[in-house]
Chain A
Amino acid sequence: MRTIRIVKRRIHSLLHRSGADAELQREIEIHIQQLTNEAVAAGMTEAEARAMALRGFGPIDQIKEKCRDTRRVSWIHDFVQDLRYGVRMLRKSPAFTAIAVITLALGIGANTAIFSIVDAVLLRSLPYRDPNQLVLMFDVPLNRPDELSGISYRDFTECRAQNRVFSQMAGNTFHDLTLTRAGEPAIVNTADVTPEIFPLLNAKPLLGRTLLPEDGKPGAAAVAVMSENLWRSRFGSNPGLIGQSIALDMRSFTVVGILPASFRYPEGAPRQDVWISVMQDPLFGPLTSEPGVRLLGVIGRLKPGVSLAKAQAEMNTLGARLAKEFAAEDSGLTIRIQPYRQAVVGNLKPALLILLSAVGLLLAIACANIANLLLAKATSRGREVAVRIALGASRARIVWQLLTESALLGLLGGVAGVLLAAWAVWSLQRFLPSEVVQISSIHVGGPVLVFALLLSLAAALAFGLAPALLATPSSLPTNLKEGGERTGQRGGQHVRSFLAIAEISLAMVLLVAGGLLIRSFALVTSVNPGFDPNNVTEGEVSLPQFQYSTPQQWTAFSTELLARLHAQPGFEDSALAAPLPMDRQGQATFAFSIVGNPPLPPGKSTTADYATVSPGYFHVMRIPLLRGRFFSEQDSPSNPRVAIVSETLARRYFPNQDPIGRQMRFGFPPNGNVSREIVGVVGDVRDVALSQKPGPMMYVPFAQAPLYGGEVVVRSSLSVSNVAASIRQAVHSIDKELPVTDVGSLPDMLGQSISRERFRTFLLGSFSAIALVLAAVGIFGVMSYSASQRTHEIGIRMALGAQRRDVLHLILGQGAKLALMGLAIGVVLAFLLTRLIASLLYSVSATDPLTFGAVAIVLFGVAMTACYIPARRAMRVDPMVALRYQ
């Protein structure tokens, strides 16, 4: 009952505010009238009585305000009123509003954009059921737990059968197969899986079924599950496709089901077209019976309640058992598990956290800037505040009102920031390094918007609170006496100087980080990769292995192709190689031994990167010959096996010896464990990454170690598109069903290999540029304000004989003091913080003195330039005007 009454009253007073106010006015009027009547009765005149009644009643407006405050809904009125007032204030000073909103939009926009990446990569839940139960498994050497590799099919089946901690376990690998008899031949990304993967990831087909356990047995009928995308684009969404057959690498597969486009494994893999049993894959199928080939990525789902530690302990036991039972392949190895998410995003996390900290600093600078602007404004609003306090407003009420204004500003900045972030995410999408894009789609969605909103309000509080408190001094009388002109001036000046120093030091941190990355990036891009990528075009050719199943066929195809390429007009030189440096699919590394050297102690091995190349390769890539000879047409399968080694391999494993004429053995191709004579030494090549020093490398002639495909490389001064067309024509003249993929210029491909470095350098570089501008604006604001406050003092100084030069020095000196203090703090902060980015740097120290020095000079120069304008203005002060003023 009482509650209803209260609610009714609150609604009433909310809706009939003016009515309630009028009633209050009438009620008080009656009281005053009665007081007047009493006084008249006591013998006063009407006017005297009225005056005495008013005096006797007390401060009417304050009493009214107190009554209104009891309504409990008054805060809603207050809020609406504050908002209106705030909008009016912001509209009244459009320059201030624009600067504040733009500053804030930069800060919040940068944060929102980076957070949307963090959200997609680190926070968004994985699209699988109970994702925390998912772990990946790897073979690792006992003494090098970070050297992850796949698991052999035999070990996978052993683990699957013997473990007690996983409810399900599945293996997968990937292979590009050629889809024919369905329009143009096309490469389809094929996932070679064991059938458990579908129930394990809870994958439900759109049509038909997924793979059944019997589909994964050797000798089962060849069946395939197709992705919704391929089904729609190639087969016109025809439901009749189920039960029909398609040709993959010239072999028939019956389509048994369609998986929805949303299903991907790993999450967000670029594109998956077809899923088949690994047993049915032309390359990997036969390798499943090779226990030494670790071809499978393995994923497991932990049984409910099983901890990671328990699962790891179980796998340690299992690993030890396998190492004992199958010593030939598994000795010295164990099995390591990693939570799925950690395995997928682990290497992105540090870089993202660094970017997030960087934008955090940026926002702090932006807030400091706006706080400065608000302080200057608050000072000029001192009289207004004093009057309002005199009229009965409480201090809290005014602080609230000023904070409402800040919040309004914060929200405006937030909206602009979100728009900026949406634009940035959209336009940055194509610059994103491929791993980031693969993880998940990045967009400004729900959680990101909530983040932006909270951030805007937090920022508003951060930049609004101090000015609001400083603007409302607790002692009223002094305030009115000084005319309110100097409210909070003294405290304000300190806060302003502090903010300027903070801005400069934060900007210093960002600039140093950006500078280090830019230097590092410049060093990476100017590094000599060991070959000359200019004017080289590459393209990938992959032979369907059911049709081209023997090494003889591969050799025949490559010989034919090279002959046709050599005949192309305008091609300076061409060759075939697998893999190329910086290949997206990674490099092949194999163990080798040197014939005639004592055998290595157990557990130790010598490894080198491996490439199989046709004779022209070194000419096309302009890799220099240091000793001996290049490969020639004579190095055919029927002649003695030969190899060429890199300078590093020669130096490291043949110290003070001539490697030419020596023999080495390495186990690739499988079962090709024959000795090869070293016939040449060539220059080192950076093959893994531009930022990685070249390691030992060995080359074999393609004819003696053929593959079912490779990269065509052509050196030509013709345009890339002309070269690409000629390569396609040459390939199609041999077999018109062969696709040529990933055609492009080698410099472009190299550029892509450093997309990650470029991306973070670009981002941090932009953030530090923004920070520099904001810091400059900040110190400009502080110095302009301080100079204008000192007009009077400057006038006196000039009247007493100070020269303009002295005034300039006075103001510049004050600015220089602030800048130097900021720089000193900034150097210390940067020194402490840049070590966090040490892992991202290439051959630059995290405390690189050159970068620190250059940044300090630039920042100091910018700060002094920002001070120069107000200093010039102060210099032109006319002493007469300045003295008359105030």
Chain B
Amino acid sequence: MPKPSDLLQGTVDLLILKTIARKPLHGWGIAKQIQTLSGDTLSVGQGSLYPALHRLENQGWICADWEESDLGRPAKVYSLTPEGRKQLERELKSWNRLSSAVHLLIQNA
């Protein structure tokens, strides 16, 4: 199995926000979800996942609560705040701008 590629700096935030925008999730779930939804192409290492979660929480984009979970015990479940939703839109826009620019560059170069 090829190793999932390293993530572009700064995209972790986008992936986390996008993932929990669908439904609130705990850290383990977020990591799994990213890996699954990207068809095992992307993986977020724990070394960057948890600091990123804590940073987003401290910035007020996401909030967390200890809830009963599918893991069989209470887990810290993260969900998007209204501001986080706006932030996600901003990040999506800038990601789209970036990726289409990269796409254009690759096609025309």
Other-chain residue from B51, B59, B82 in contact with A6 (beta carbon distance below 8 A)? B59
Asked if A58 is at the interface (CB within 8 A of a chain B CB), the reply is yes
- Answer whether A30 and B28 are a contact pair too, CB < 8 Å, given A5-B63, A63-B46, A63-B51: yes
Contact with A along B63-83 (1 / 0, CB 8 A): 100100001010110000111
For residue B62, give the distance in angstroms from its CB to the closest CB of chain A: 10
The answer to whether B46 touches A58, judged by C-beta atoms less than 8 angstroms apart, is yes
The answer to whether B28 touches A72, judged by C-beta atoms less than 8 angstroms apart, is no
Contact with A along B22-55 (1 / 0, CB 8 A): 0000111001000000000000011100110011
Asked if B4 is at the interface (CB within 8 A of a chain A CB), the reply is no
A44-76 CB contacts (< 8 Å) to partner B: 57-59, 62-63, 66-67, 69-72
The answer to whether A30 touches B73, judged by C-beta atoms less than 8 angstroms apart, is yes
Asked if B57 is at the interface (CB within 8 A of a chain A CB), the reply is yes
The answer to whether A58 touches B55, judged by C-beta atoms less than 8 angstroms apart, is no
The answer to whether A31 touches B27, judged by C-beta atoms less than 8 angstroms apart, is yes
For residue B50, give the distance in angstroms from its CB to the closest CB of chain A: 5
- Answer whether A2 and B83 are a contact pair too, CB < 8 Å, given A31-B27, A34-B71, A66-B51: yes
Q: How many A-B residue pairs have CB under 8 A?
A: 67
The answer to whether B58 touches A71, judged by C-beta atoms less than 8 angstroms apart, is yes
- Answer whether A59 and B58 are a contact pair too, CB < 8 Å, given A1-B82, A5-B63: no
For residue B46, give the distance in angstroms from its CB to the closest CB of chain A: 5
| Number of A interface residues in the complex (CB < 8 A) | 27
Asked if A146 is at the interface (CB within 8 A of a chain B CB), the reply is no
The answer to whether A27 touches B47, judged by C-beta atoms less than 8 angstroms apart, is no
- Answer whether A30 and B27 are a contact pair too, CB < 8 Å, given A59-B47, A67-B51: yes
Complex interface: chain A residues within 8 A of B76 (CB): 23, 26-27, 30
For residue A767, give the distance in angstroms from its CB to the closest CB of chain B: 52
For residue B80, give the distance in angstroms from its CB to the closest CB of chain A: 12
Complex interface: chain A residues within 8 A of B66 (CB): 23
Closest residue of chain A to B56 (Cβ to Cβ) is A70
The answer to whether B81 touches A2, judged by C-beta atoms less than 8 angstroms apart, is yes
Interface core residue of B58, B71, B83 (most chain A CB under 10 Å): B58
The answer to whether B27 touches A70, judged by C-beta atoms less than 8 angstroms apart, is no
The answer to whether A34 touches B28, judged by C-beta atoms less than 8 angstroms apart, is yes
The answer to whether A27 touches B27, judged by C-beta atoms less than 8 angstroms apart, is yes
Complex interface: chain B residues within 8 A of A59 (CB): 47
Contact with B along A359-388 (1 / 0, CB 8 A): 000000000000000000000000000000
Asked if A238 is at the interface (CB within 8 A of a chain B CB), the reply is no
Contact with B along A109-133 (1 / 0, CB 8 A): 0000000000000000000000000
For residue A746, give the distance in angstroms from its CB to the closest CB of chain B: 80
Contact with B along A16-31 (1 / 0, CB 8 A): 0000000110111011
The answer to whether A5 touches B81, judged by C-beta atoms less than 8 angstroms apart, is yes
Distance in angstroms between the alpha carbons of A30 and B83 in the assembled complex:
28
Complex interface: chain A residues within 8 A of B73 (CB): 30
Complex interface: chain A residues within 8 A of B83 (CB): 1-2, 5
Distance in angstroms between the alpha carbons of A9 and B56 in the assembled complex:
12
The answer to whether A2 touches B46, judged by C-beta atoms less than 8 angstroms apart, is no
Complex interface: chain B residues within 8 A of A2 (CB): 60, 81, 83
Closest residue of chain A to B51 (Cβ to Cβ) is A66
Closest residue of chain B to A4 (Cβ to Cβ) is B60
Asked if A3 is at the interface (CB within 8 A of a chain B CB), the reply is yes
The answer to whether B46 touches A71, judged by C-beta atoms less than 8 angstroms apart, is no
Other-chain residue from B50, B58, B63, B81 in contact with A63 (beta carbon distance below 8 A)? B50
Complex interface: chain A residues within 8 A of B59 (CB): 6
Interface core residue of B46, B47, B66, B83 (most chain A CB under 10 Å): B46
Asked if A627 is at the interface (CB within 8 A of a chain B CB), the reply is no
Asked if A10 is at the interface (CB within 8 A of a chain B CB), the reply is yes
The answer to whether B71 touches A30, judged by C-beta atoms less than 8 angstroms apart, is yes
Complex interface: chain A residues within 8 A of B45 (CB): 58
- Answer whether A27 and B50 are a contact pair too, CB < 8 Å, given A1-B83, A34-B28, A70-B55: yes
For residue B66, give the distance in angstroms from its CB to the closest CB of chain A: 8
Distance in angstroms between the alpha carbons of A57 and B48 in the assembled complex:
11
Complex interface: chain A residues within 8 A of B75 (CB): 27, 30
Distance in angstroms between the alpha carbons of A59 and B27 in the assembled complex:
17
For residue B25, give the distance in angstroms from its CB to the closest CB of chain A: 12
For residue A30, give the distance in angstroms from its CB to the closest CB of chain B: 5
For residue A38, give the distance in angstroms from its CB to the closest CB of chain B: 10
Distance in angstroms between the alpha carbons of A2 and B81 in the assembled complex:
9
Complex interface: chain A residues within 8 A of B82 (CB): 1
Q: Beyond A3-B60, A26-B76, A31-B31: 7 further Cβ-contacts under 8 Å?
A: A2-B83, A23-B76, A27-B50, A30-B71, A31-B28, A63-B46, A67-B51
Measured CB to CB, the residues of B under 8 A from A are 26-28, 31, 45-47, 50-51, 54-55, 57-60, 63, 66, 71, 73, 75-76, 81-83
- Can you list 7 residue pairs at the A/B interface with Cβ under 8 Å? A27-B50, A31-B28, A34-B28, A34-B71, A58-B47, A59-B47, A70-B58
